[in-house]
Amino acid sequence: MIALPVAEREPLLSARGLVKHFGQVQALQGADFTAHRGEVVALIGDNGAGKSTLVNVLSGVLAPDGGEITLEGKPVRFSGPMDAQHQGVETVYQDLSLAPDLDATANLYLGRELFLGGVLRPFKVLDRSAMRLAAIDAFAELGVSLKDVTVPVAALSGGQRQSVAVARAVAFARSVIFMDEPTAALGVVQRGRVLETIRRVRDRGICVVLISHNMPEVLSVADRVEVLRLGRRVASFNAAQTSIEELVGAMTGSLDEPTAAVRNASDKGSAL
Amino acid sequence: MTTVRDTVSPPAPPPARPRQWVRVVARRNEAWTFTILVALVAFFSIAAPGKFFTVYDITQIAVNASIYLVLGVGMTYVIITAGIDLSIGSVLVLAAVAAAEYNIHHGAAAAGWGTVAVCVVIALAVGTAWGALQGMLVATGRIPSLIVTLGGLGAALGLAEIATGGEDPSGAVAAHLQNSLGYGKLLGIPWLVVLAAVVTLVFGLVLSFTRFGNYTFAIGSNPAAARRAGIPVARHLVKVYALMGLLAGLGAVMWLASYGTTSIAGHSTDNLTVITAVVLGGTSLFGGRGSVLGTVIGVFIPAVLTTGLIVIGVQQYWQDVAVGVVLVAAVYLDQLRKQTRERN
């Protein structure tokens, strides 16, 4: 059940023994995480297992209280989400994190605007046409059809908004994209489209980390599945060789004994 | 890599036939208010032929509107960030009193150009500093702007009254300032109007075309998203409130030049006048949407109404009634649009 061939490659992003607590609450208790270039890793776990905390730590939103993160073999410590972005790590938040009154182009380039050069350079005048053309390319590359990239995002459908958020991450990501429940609010057709997008992004050599509750979806799109329970990684599966029953078992702890034995996840010694 | 492009069917726009016109109108708030302005001008021109549409009236309307326009430009920025500034009238008075106090002790009415320059700098600095302080409280103290600026309204006016004993001081303004900015004209256009037009144009362009404007919209639209995108939200908010203060200081200079007195008691409703104008101009109180062009239209609607009603011999107080009704209608449409949008 462990994806040994994958594990032998050097991981793109890996975390060892991450600890994070909020007051008395131990959200992460020595959590490990591994992700490789060009794979889709699903991160699953029951509510309160620490998925969101782990993603927030890995994407620079939260600073860990302990443990270490390495990106491309080098230890990193993100000072914030911007720092993570500079190092090629992007996040698609569950709420999409779009400005609804701005158009798709402005959202794509929010905080990373392009400016006109020449005498106007010091005034930071937006180069709207350059951004619009690049945005059209970015959307086309994802197979997303937006009739007009200049209407406010609020006027778009849920799926289109999702596409804008994904396109923004894809356009700037160089190594990892975290996607927090990217299909939760979508209909069947749009859901299929987002999953297709995830596969395409992976094929560009980027690692996609998918946080999802939807087990069939996880098995259909992920290459590997990492299971989090009570703030630690309790199992790691090759998606092609596992089943929903096995995943649910690892999530709920009914398979705790064998996985713990194989993963040896308790070598940090922090008692549950 | 080969990108397999699947056939993506264009998502059909939801028709929603009923209330289509409401949505169209609601989407183009500026066009809608501009129509009202044009209709008002047309109505008064026809109702009082030869009287309303004269150079004198247009000039008078423009002069009356120029200070409100300058304040309205700043207020547009503040409201787009989903904030509000109630303190502008008091900040204007405080800035005016600070400049006046310096002027009184440096030559009074006969003060030279050097004193005039210092007075202008004092007024602008006091306004900017007050605005920046309020901005810091809003941005980092997480106190609602309504409360911060309500406190600012009282405090700034109080300080002005303490400094003057509550009386408008005499010798507050140098004759040089009044004769130049106050009564002077450039090619027949009053300097006050020219100044207001330049301020409006500059900050209108900044709002529409620069990163500063883009950040302003983004913060008003979704502050959390702006923060995650790396926009320095708190710093930007301080700048926006400081800009509002700067323009209130400029309004103080314009007021002193135009009227020659600090008018301590005369600015208690500036905030409502200006907020009304900005909202009439289509800027959303919910933040994220708005334009300086809309504010220009919004400032001129009450101004045209007042002058027009006087010209056709109707009590000008009807202006207040009309503006009040239109204001509520404008916000209702804004609310409607927001709901239509969020039903998506």
Average pLDDT over residues B245-268: 93
**Confidence check: pLDDT of A272 > 60:** no
Residue A148 and residue A17 share a domain: no
Question: Chain B closest CA to A215's CA: distance in Å?
Answer: 25
Domain span at residue B163 reads 48-331
- CB atoms under 10 Å from CB of A77, counted, come to 10
Contact A193 B8 (CB under 8 A): yes
**What does pLDDT average to over chain B?**
86
Which of A142-151, A243-252, B230-239 is predicted with the least confidence, judged by mean pLDDT?
Answer: A142-151
Query: Is A93 part of a structural domain of the chain?
Result: no
A233, A50 contact by CB (below 8 A): no
Phi, psi dihedrals of residue A70, rounded to the nearest 5°: -125, 140
Are residues A121 and A151 both part of a single domain?
yes
CA distance B225 to chain A (A): 4
3-state secondary structure string, chain A?
CCCHHHHHCCCCEEEEEEEEEECCEEEEEEEEEEECCCCEEEEEECCCCCHHHHHHHHCCCCCCCEEEEEECCEEECCCCHHHHHHCCEEEECCCCCCCCCCEHHHHHCCCCCCECCHHHHHHCEECHHHHHHHHHHHHHHCCCCCCCCCCEHHHCCHHHHHHHHHHHHHHHCCCEEEEECCCCCCCHHHHHHHHHHHHHHHHCCCEEEEECCCHHHHHHHCCEEEEEECCEEEEEEEHHHCCHHHHHHHHHCCCHHHHHHHHCCCCCCCCC
**CA atoms of A220 and A192, how far apart (whole Å):** 10
Of A113-117, A206-210, B52-56, B97-101, the range with the lowest mean pLDDT is B52-56
**CATH number, residue A181:** 3.40.50.300
- pLDDT at residue A12, as a whole number: 92
In chain B, what residues touch A95 (CB-CB under 8 Å)?
224
Q: Under a CB-based contact definition with an 8 Å cutoff, are residues B82 and B220 in contact? A: yes
B302: Cα within 13 Å, side-chain hemisphere: 28
Question: Mean pLDDT across the stretch B199-217?
Answer: 96
Domain termination residue (choose one: A149, A172, A195): A172
Q: Is the pLDDT of residue A111 over 80?
A: yes
Q: Which of A95, A99, A193 sits opposite B218 (nearest CB)?
A: A99
Same domain, A180 and A253: yes
3-state SS assignment for residue B210? strand
What integer pLDDT is reported at residue B7 of this predicted model? Answer: 40
Would you call A143 and B6 a contact, using CB atoms and an 8 Å cutoff? yes
Task: Identify the pLDDT of residue B243.
Answer: 98
Q: Cα dist. B179→A4, B19, B111, B192 in Å?
A: 87, 54, 12, 11
pLDDT at B295 > cutoff 90: yes
pLDDT(B2) > 60: no
Domain check: are A66 and A126 in the same one? no
Q: Which residue has the higher pLDDT, B209 or B60?
A: B209
My answer on whether A36 and A64 are in the same domain is yes
Nearest residue of chain B to residue A98 (CA atoms):
B225
Residue A112, Cα to own-chain centre: how many angstroms?
Answer: 20
Question: Is B41 within the bounds of a domain?
Answer: no
Residue A107 lies inside a defined structural domain of this protein: yes
Mark whether A147 and A189 lie in a shared domain. Answer: no
Per-residue pLDDT band at B162 (split at 50, 70, 90): very high
pLDDT score, position B166: 86
Listed as own residue / partner, the contacts of A131-140 with beta carbons closer than 8 Å and 24 or more positions apart are A131/A105, A131/A106, A132/A105, A134/A108, A134/A171, A135/A104, A135/A105, A135/A108, A135/A109, A135/A167, A138/A108, A138/A167, A138/A170, A138/A171, A139/A104, A139/A163, A139/A164, A139/A167, A140/B5
Query: Closest Cα of chain B to A256: distance in Å?
Result: 37
* Separation CA B182–CA B191 (nearest Å): 7
- Which of A99, A102, A143 is the closest to B8 by Cβ? A143
A2 inside domain? yes
Contact A265, A234 (CB under 8 A): yes
Amino acid B184: pLDDT? 84
Whether B341 and A106 lie within 8 Å, measured CB to CB: no
A163 and A44 inside one domain? no
Minimum distance, in Å, between the CA of residue B219 and any CA atom of chain A: 8
Pair A82, A122 in one domain: no
Write down the pLDDT at residue B26.
Answer: 52
- Per-residue model confidence (pLDDT) at position A71: 92
Q: Quick check: B201 pLDDT over 80?
A: yes
Residue B11 has pLDDT above 60, yes or no: no
In a domain, residue A15? The reply is: yes
Q: Among B14-18, B191-195, B276-280, B336-340, which is the least confidently predicted range?
A: B14-18
Task: Say if B1 falls within a structural domain.
Answer: no
Whether the pLDDT of residue A1 is over 50: the answer is: no
| Dist. CA B222–CA B340, nearest whole Å | 18
Residue A155 lies in a domain: yes
CB pairs under 8 A between A and B: 91
In degrees rounded to 5, what are phi and psi of residue A63?
-90, 130
By CA distance, what is A108's nearest residue in B? B229
Chain B residue whose CA is closest to A159: B11
pLDDT above 90 as % of chain B: 49
The answer on pLDDT for A9 being more than 80 is: no
Q: Highest mean pLDDT range out of A156-160, A204-208, B195-199? A: B195-199
B38 assigned to some structural domain: no
Per-residue pLDDT of A39-74, as tens digits, reads 999 999 988 888 889 999 998 888 999 999 999 889
In angstroms, what CA-CA distances link B203 with A97, A127, B289? 28, 18, 15
Residues A262 and A194 in one domain: yes
Q: What average pLDDT does the structure give for chain A?
A: 84
Residue A149's pLDDT band, with cuts at 50, 70 and 90, is confident
8 Å CB contact of A196 and B288: no
Domain total in chain A: 2
Distance of CA A42 to CAs A33, A164, A188, B336, Å? Answer: 11, 22, 20, 41
Above 80 in pLDDT, residue A186? no
Asked if residue B324 belongs to a domain, the reply is yes
User: Could you report the per-residue pLDDT of B26-69, keeping only the tens digit for each?
Assistant: 556 677 778 888 888 888 888 877 777 676 777 777 888 899 99
Per-residue confidence (pLDDT) for residue B21, from 0 to 100 = 55
Average pLDDT for residues A227-241, to the nearest whole number? Answer: 90
Of A142, A172, A202, the residue at which a domain comes to its end is A172
Task: Verify that A197 and A180 share a domain, yes or no.
Answer: yes
Q: Which two tokens stand for residue B117?
A: 């320059």
Q: What is the pLDDT of residue A3?
A: 44
> What pLDDT, on a 0 to 100 scale, did the predictor assign at position B222?
94
Q: Is residue B27 part of a domain?
A: no
Assess if residue A229 is contained within a domain: yes
Chain Cα centroid distance, residue B7: 49
Among residues A67, A66, A90, A87, which one has the least CA distance to residue A78?
A: A87
Q: Does residue B32 belong to any structural domain of this protein?
A: no
User: Residue B147: its pLDDT value, please?
Assistant: 96
pLDDT at B4 over 50: no
The chain B residues in contact with chain A (CB within 8 A) are: 1, 3, 5-6, 8, 10-11, 209-212, 214, 217-218, 220-222, 224-226, 228-231, 287-289, 341-342, 344
Q: How far is A250 from chain B (nearest CA, A)?
A: 33
CA distance A207 to A222: 11
Q: What percent of chain A has pLDDT over 90?
A: 33
Position B81 pLDDT exceeds 90: yes
Tell me if A118 is assigned to some domain. Answer: yes
Boundary residue ending a domain (A130, A150, A172)? A172
Q: Which domain holds residue A150?
A: 98-172
Q: Which of A44, A45, A46, A50 is nearest to A21 (CA)?
A: A50
A80 and A42, same structural domain? yes
Q: Can you give the pLDDT at residue B19?
A: 56
pLDDT band for position A24 (50/70/90)? confident
A27 and A117 within one domain? no
* Structural domain count, chain B: 1
- Please give the model's pTM, rounded to 2 decimal places: 0.85
